[in-house]
Amino acid sequence: MTHFLDIHKTDPAELRNIIDTAKSMKAARAGKLRGALDDDQPLKNHMVALIFEKPSTRTRVSFDVGVRQMGGQTMVLSGKEMQLGHGETIADTARVLSRYVDLIMIRTFEEQTLLELAEYADVPVINGLTDRTHPCQIMADIQTFEEHRGPIAGKKVVWSGDGNNVFASFAHAAGQFGFDLTFTGPAQLDPEQEFVDLARSKGSNVLIERDPVKAVQGADLVVTDTWVSMHDPQSARERRHNQLRPYQVNDDLMAHAKPDALFMHCLPAHRDEEATSAVMDGKHSVIFDEAENRLHAQKAVMRWCLGV
């Protein structure tokens, strides 16, 4: 079964094939009316289940639109509708859904939910996000970088902020795509050592630098994410703001990166918190190309999973 669970679990050659497919599918759509079907309809007569235990804008719209553009149909299900893992075991849900649909995408909290769903499903499962990783986002980010600056191999990527699930997938990608990665943020919010060690074991230079100015020197790409989750209590929000304020991506910080460095944020953003509006709307920013490429990268992931 060809699941897409995490970047480090997929062969580098296959990852490169997914990126190349995404680029070619995007190019093929250039000039088409929005919403038009692809000339090639690889998902015709396919049904895709989109499961959302966590709410979403980009993930929901990009997967739904992507399936439809490729000629397929979607069934969008919320965690409340399914009672996933509560009214019915995850294993039984996986077995039942496999009788109805051809592909499952899940956006959930616990990584174990994703892994158990994949273990018992008889159809491919895609990780739309867990609390630990967010691989589809980073596939779109790599596509975006390469559209603007060419191959990402050998480049320096700097993450400023919280060592969260998006950073984790960047670390996975560093080892698979061959770029270097620097984390700058407070020690209390360091990434899991497992993610750092895995990238280093594959030859990537992964550094932790507390000084954000030193961290971004020579950076080809600077990335950040929201400082707080929608589920964090107010006390946690205030604490994180105090911890992360020195790591805000602003014009002063970007001035220490390479002159042609790119800036990315997976969105949604709290403008003028983790990044200033001047940076988000400025010459370095490719955040809306990045958001668009979720559509193209995920279409390529779905094709790869189904072998179509």
- Choosing from 8, 58, 132, 134, the catalytic residue is 134
Using alpha carbons, select from 244, 287, 283 the residue that is nearest to residue 58.
Answer: 287
Catalytic residue among 6, 8, 162, 266: 266
| Catalytic residue chosen out of the listed positions 69, 102, 225, 248 | 225
The Cα 98–Cα 122 span in angstroms is 5
The torsion of the CA quartet 265, 268, 292, 190, rounded to 10 degrees, works out to: 40
Quick check: is 137 catalytic? yes
Catalytic pick among 3, 8, 46, 107? 107
107 is catalytic: yes
Residue 36: both structure tokens together? 């038009």
284 is catalytic: no
CB under 8 Å, gap of 24 or more: what pairs does 77-84 form?
77/49, 77/50, 77/51, 77/52, 78/51, 78/52, 78/53, 79/51, 79/52, 79/53, 79/54, 79/108, 82/51, 84/51, 84/53, 84/108, 84/113
Q: Are the CB atoms for 275 and 245 separated by under 8 Å?
A: no
Q: How far apart are CA 12 and CA 8, in angstroms?
A: 8
Among residues 102, 132, 136, 137, the one annotated as catalytic is 137
- 210 residue type, one letter: R
Kindly name the residue from 265, 284, 294, 303 that is annotated as catalytic.
Answer: 294
Active-site residue, 266 included: yes
Q: Is 229 helix (H, G, I), strand (E, B) or coil?
A: coil
- Active-site positions read 107, 134, 137, 225, 266, 294
